[in-house]
Structure 1
Amino acid sequence: MKPTTITAILATLLTQVVHGSPQPRQDAKPPYFILTGDSTVAVNGGWGDGFLSFVADPASGVNKGDSGATTVSYRNEFWDEVLSEVANTVSDYEPIVTIQFGHNDQKTLTLEEYGDNLEALATDVQGAGGTPIIITSLTRRAFENGEVIQNLADWRAEAINSAKDVGIQYLDLNIASTDYVNAIGEENGHTYDLSDGDSTHLNAAGEVVFGRMVADLMLEARPDFEGYFTPNEALSEKIANGEYATGDE
């Protein structure tokens, strides 16, 4: 075998190790996405339904986000239902449980409590046979001096640390959405507001745009899922390039 060929093979293997990207398997089950989180995930205000709109058969999913939820309230009210969903789908799918909290935890919990709760939720999913993926919080679209106020930065860092401590993947939606909103500017950023003065929740256009953002982040983490998402190259390119998108692309 030529040295250049050996080098190329080693480079490919190194890339796979560094990125931690699972490789496609012939016997792989399609994903079943169980979206958990607060109102920035939930129906009517979150990215969850926008994300699911891109999920293609035979993959499927359900949006179980809950308005006002914290890691504490969600565990108390909905977690048994989520774990049952994992158990009910694991024979036919790879259950992927996305976990995105922070907006409301920020108001009531310490960072340490938040991190411990995320780790417990992720460990529960693993124990039930599912794959947990932590997602850092969608940015608020509040500005100061022309820049997004990064008031979730500490919570982003804690979520990432929790994922690393458990040894699972995470999607850094917080930094991706912050960078995108900074790129398109304050006026355009507010076109995604659910209502006047609400710079946290998303209207229909925002659901699609940020749902696509999460889908693209998911595909970066799990390129083996490529066949399970309907592509929208125009929208994905605008997001990647920091260009304003209407959601009608």
Structure 2
Amino acid sequence: MRISIIGSGRVATHLTLALKAHGHVFVDVCSRKITHAEGLAARLNARALNHIDNMDLNIDVVIIAVSDQSIGEVVQQLVNIKPTCLVLHTSGSTHVTVISDHLAYAGVFYPLQTFSVEHDVDWLNVPVLIEANTPQQLEIVRLLAQQLSTKVYEYSSAQRLSLHLAAVFACNFSNYCYDVAHQIVQEQGVDFELLFPLMMATTNKATSISPSMAQTGPAMRHDEVILKQHQALLKKYMPNHLEMYRLLSEQIQKRHS
């Protein structure tokens, strides 16, 4: 297929390079900063643009891979040039109607994964959630997704939003807790790597049994002595994390009352 991408960040980069490896041709890379567009376009053998008005419309698919708050703005710019091809966004929390209310052919290609510049993506095992406003367009999205992943699921916008929210807890919030743990041991000159086996064991248990069944710790045991010791340490060295500790401990105690 002939594809153009709007966006040049982490999702755009990983997705386009994976699709290119499967033989798809990229025509345009459009980004607000031309230098960003040029960097990705060079890797795709595509043209770099910083204005959507200049896009080549002789294409099969346009992929919008920008921040959620910018998708609507991009769609309005596409309305001005009247593309007749399928237009996809890659957001987990944005409804498909942000496109279908304005353009004839709309869809969603949402990879449920965290993307970093430093790490390659194992696309075969990345769940890809798809949606489209017509059966014909859905098959196009499905074809693209199945070329990359063995885990392709058709979900509604409401279902996709619930998964995105769950992903924030499972990935973003848990990673922030890892960051806090790093800060705590760093404060006392303790090696953060000592926690790695524990972190891995926690993930393994959460994915093999119910996370509720896997819960351990002083809050789950209602061990008030340890809870107070921890809070005293946080109050002394890292008071900005004290309220979070209290709130999480309280929620664990309610869950395991």
TM-score by length of structure 2 reads: 0.35
Q: Whose radius of gyration is greater, 1 or 2?
A: 2
Q: Using CA pairs below 8 Å that are at least 6 residues apart, which structure has the higher relative contact order?
A: 1
